[in-house]
C-alpha cells in the first residue's frame, strides 16, 4: 500500500466482472451480454454525426439524450439523469444521497455491486435474505429501517416483483429512498416507472447494456422526481461535468428511438429463453422462472462448479457463484438459438460423462 492510499480502503471489495479470458475464443454467456448487435440506426448516427464534433466539448446538460429518453418513457427531461453506464448513475446517487454510516438494504443474493458501493461509501449494508423460493421478502423490506436498493428483476435469480409490491415498499415511508435497478426490465417484467410521478422517494435506474445490446457504449439513466435529478446533476457538475461523450450521446439517441429493434431483439431472447428453460426442465433441472436474458438453474447430479469448468473447457463461459445459498446453481446468459443448442448439447455430454465416471468409480 502506498503512503497515500486512504485508510479503510485496505480491505475494499472490488466488483469482479465476469471473466474475460484471452487464451482462446469463447462464447461468452457469463455477463448477460446480448448476442445481437446494437441497433443498425447507430451506424447511421455515427456516420451522420460529424466525427469532427468531437473537437468540441459536448453539452454537459445532456439535453438531447435526456429529452429522447424522457419522450420514450413519458417523462420530462428534468426527470432524467444520464450516466456513463448505470454504474455511474448509481455512483452519483451514492455521492448525492448517502454518507458514511447510512443504512442501505438489499437482498442477500443479488447484484454484487451494491455491496461494493456500500463498502466504498462506508454504508451499513443490510442483507435481507430471499425467501426459500428465492423471491424477494417484500414484508421485510417494507419494515426495514433503511434506504433500499433492489434490482427488479433480481440478478442472478431472474425473478421479478409486481409493481404493486414495489409500491408497498416505496409508499411505506416517504423519507426512505428506494432505488430500483431495472437493468433487465425489457425482458418481460413490468416497470415501476409509473410510480415515479406518484412518489418523490423513488429512483428507477435503467441501462442500454442489456436489451439495447450495447454494454460497450456505457449509457445508463435514472428517472426520478426532478428535484432529486437536479441534485444529482449538481454533484455531477462538481466531479465530472462532461460524463457522456459526444458519440455516446448520438448513438444513445439513435438507440432509444429504435423501439422496433428493441422489441425484435427482446422477443427473440424471450423465445429462446423459453426453449432453453423447457430443455433444462426436460432433463430434470430445477429452473427458476425468469424474466431476464438469463436462466438460473440448479444442478443436482454433479457439482455446479464442475459443470461450469467443463463448459469452459468446451469454449463456453457461464457464471457460477461460490455463495453457499446458490453454489449448486448456474447462470447462463441467453445467446442465439444456435449458441443455446450448443450449450444444451454440451450440458448433456458433460452430465453423461459424469454419470459414467461415477458409475465406474462405484463399481
Question: What residues from 213 to 272 belong to the interface with a second copy (CB under 8 A)?
Answer: 213-218, 225, 227-228, 231, 234-235, 237-248, 251
Distance, in Å, from the CA atom of 23 to the CA atom of 227, rounded to the nearest integer, reads 49
Identify which of residues 34 and 154 has a Cβ nearer to a second copy in the complex.
Answer: 34
Identify which of residues 241 and 303 has a Cβ nearer to a second copy in the complex.
Answer: 241
Q: Is residue 29 packed enough to be buried (19+ CB in 10 Å), middle (13-18) or exposed (0-12)?
A: buried
Distance, in Å, from the CA atom of 8 to the CA atom of 311, rounded to the nearest integer, reads 39
| Number of residues forming the site for a second copy (CB under 8 A) | 79
By CB under 8 A, is residue 24 in contact with a second copy? no
Tally of CA atoms within 13 A in the half-sphere of 91 that contains its CB: 13
As measured in angstroms, the least distance from the Cβ of 148 to a second copy is 13
Identify which of residues 115 and 312 has a Cβ nearer to a second copy in the complex.
Answer: 115
As measured in angstroms, the least distance from the Cβ of 153 to a second copy is 20
Among 28, 66, 310, 320, interactor with a second copy by CB under 8 A: 28
Which positions from 85 through 104 interact with a second copy, judged by CB under 8 A? 85, 87-88, 91, 96-99
Exposed e or buried b for every residue in 165-190, given b needs 16+ CB within 10 A? Answer: bbbebbbbeeebbbbbbbbbbbbbbb
In 3-state terms the chain splits into helix, strand, coil percentages (rounded to 5) of 45, 15, 40
Which positions from 60 through 79 interact with a second copy, judged by CB under 8 A? 60
By CB under 8 A, is residue 335 in contact with a second copy? no
Which positions from 137 through 156 interact with a second copy, judged by CB under 8 A? none
- Binding window for a second copy (CB under 8 A); candidates: 16-24, 162-170, 288-296, 307-315: 16-24
As measured in angstroms, the least distance from the Cβ of 213 to a second copy is 5
Identify which of residues 238 and 362 has a Cβ nearer to a second copy in the complex.
Answer: 238
Which positions from 290 through 329 interact with a second copy, judged by CB under 8 A? none
- Binding window for a second copy (CB under 8 A); candidates: 43-51, 279-287, 297-305, 317-325: 43-51
In terms of Cα–Cα distance, which of 304, 323, 300 is closest to 312?
Answer: 304
Site string for a second copy, 102-121 (x = CB under 8 A): --------------xx-xx-
Q: How many residues does the chain have?
A: 363
Site string for a second copy, 160-179 (x = CB under 8 A): --------------xx-x--
Among 23, 24, 52, 322, interactor with a second copy by CB under 8 A: 52
Distance, in Å, from the CA atom of 148 to the CA atom of 104, rounded to the nearest integer, reads 5
Identify which of residues 67 and 298 has a Cβ nearer to a second copy in the complex.
Answer: 67
Structure-block grid coordinates of residue 216: 460497450
Please work out, in degrees rounded to the nearest 5, the angle formed at the alpha carbon of residue 194 by the alpha carbons of 65 and 133.
Answer: 110
Among 19, 21, 57, 263, interactor with a second copy by CB under 8 A: 57
Residue by residue, DSSP assigns 289-300 as --SSSEEEEE--
In terms of Cα–Cα distance, which of 77, 66, 78 is closest to 230?
Answer: 78
Which positions from 274 through 293 interact with a second copy, judged by CB under 8 A? none
Count Cβ atoms below 10 Å from residue 249 Cβ, excluding itself. 23
CA distance from start to end of the chain: 54
Count Cβ atoms below 10 Å from residue 100 Cβ, excluding itself. 9
Identify which of residues 246 and 277 has a Cβ nearer to a second copy in the complex.
Answer: 246
By CB under 8 A, is residue 13 in contact with a second copy? yes
As measured in angstroms, the least distance from the Cβ of 298 to a second copy is 27
Q: Which long-range contacts (CB under 8 A, 24 or more apart) does 337-341 make?
A: 337/272, 337/275, 339/27, 339/29, 339/35, 340/272, 340/275, 340/276
Identify which of residues 238 and 359 has a Cβ nearer to a second copy in the complex.
Answer: 238
As measured in angstroms, the least distance from the Cβ of 189 to a second copy is 22
By CB under 8 A, is residue 201 in contact with a second copy? yes
Amino acid at each position: 500500500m502506498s503512503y497515500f492510499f486512504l485508510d479503510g480502503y485496505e480491505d475494499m471489495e472490488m466488483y469482479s466482472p465476469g471473466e474475460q479470458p484471452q487464451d482462446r475464443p469463447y462464447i461468452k454467456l457469463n455477463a448477460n451480454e446480448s448476442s445481437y448487435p446494437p441497433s443498425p440506426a447507430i451506424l447511421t448516427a455515427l456516420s451522420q454525426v460529424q466525427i469532427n464534433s468531437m473537437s468540441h466539448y459536448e453539452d454537459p446538460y445532456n439535453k438531447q439524450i435526456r429529452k429522447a429518453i424522457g419522450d420514450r418513457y413519458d417523462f420530462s427531461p428534468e426527470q432524467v439523469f444520464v450516466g456513463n453506464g448505470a454504474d455511474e448513475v448509481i455512483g452519483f446517487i451514492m455521492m448525492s444521497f448517502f454518507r458514511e454510516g447510512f443504512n442501505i438494504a438489499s437482498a442477500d443474493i443479488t447484484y454484487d455491486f451494491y455491496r461494493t458501493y456500500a463498502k466504498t461509501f462506508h454504508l451499513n449494508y443490510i442483507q435481507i435474505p430471499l425467501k426459500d423460493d428465492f423471491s424477494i421478502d417484500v414484508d421485510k423490506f417494507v419494515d426495514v429501517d433503511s434506504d433500499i436498493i433492489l434490482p427488479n428483476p433480481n440478478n442472478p435469480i431472474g425473478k421479478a416483483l409486481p409493481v404493486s409490491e414495489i409500491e408497498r415498499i416505496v409508499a411505506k415511508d416517504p423519507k426512505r429512498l428506494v432505488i430500483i435497478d431495472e437493468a433487465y426490465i425489457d425482458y418481460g417484467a413490468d416497470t415501476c416507472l409509473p410510480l415515479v410521478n406518484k412518489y418523490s422517494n423513488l429512483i428507477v435506474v435503467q441501462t442500454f447494456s442489456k436489451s439495447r445490446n450495447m454494454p460497450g457504449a456505457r449509457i445508463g439513466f435514472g428517472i426520478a422526481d426532478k428535484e432529486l435529478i437536479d441534485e444529482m446533476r449538481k454533484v455531477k457538475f462538481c466531479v465530472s461535468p462532461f460524463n457522456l461523450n459526444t458519440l455516446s450521446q448520438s448513438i444513445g439517441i439513435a438507440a432509444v428511438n429504435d423501439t422496433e429493434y428493441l422489441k425484435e431483439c427482446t422477443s427473440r431472447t424471450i423465445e429462446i429463453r423459453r426453449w432453453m428453460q423447457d430443455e433444462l426442465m426436460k432433463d430434470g433441472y430445477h429452473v427458476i422462472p425468469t424474466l431476464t436474458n438469463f436462466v438460473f438453474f440448479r444442478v443436482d447430479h454433479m457439482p455446479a462448479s464442475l459443470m461450469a469448468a467443463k463448459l469452459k473447457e468446451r469454449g463456453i463461459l457461464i457464471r457460477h457463484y461460490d455463495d453457499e445459498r446458490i453454489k449448486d446453481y448456474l447462470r447462463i446468459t441467453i445467446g442465439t438459438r444456435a449458441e443455446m443448442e450448443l450449450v444444451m448439447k454440451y450440458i448433456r455430454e458433460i452430465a453423461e460423462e459424469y454419470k459414467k465416471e461415477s458409475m465406474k468409480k462405484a463399481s
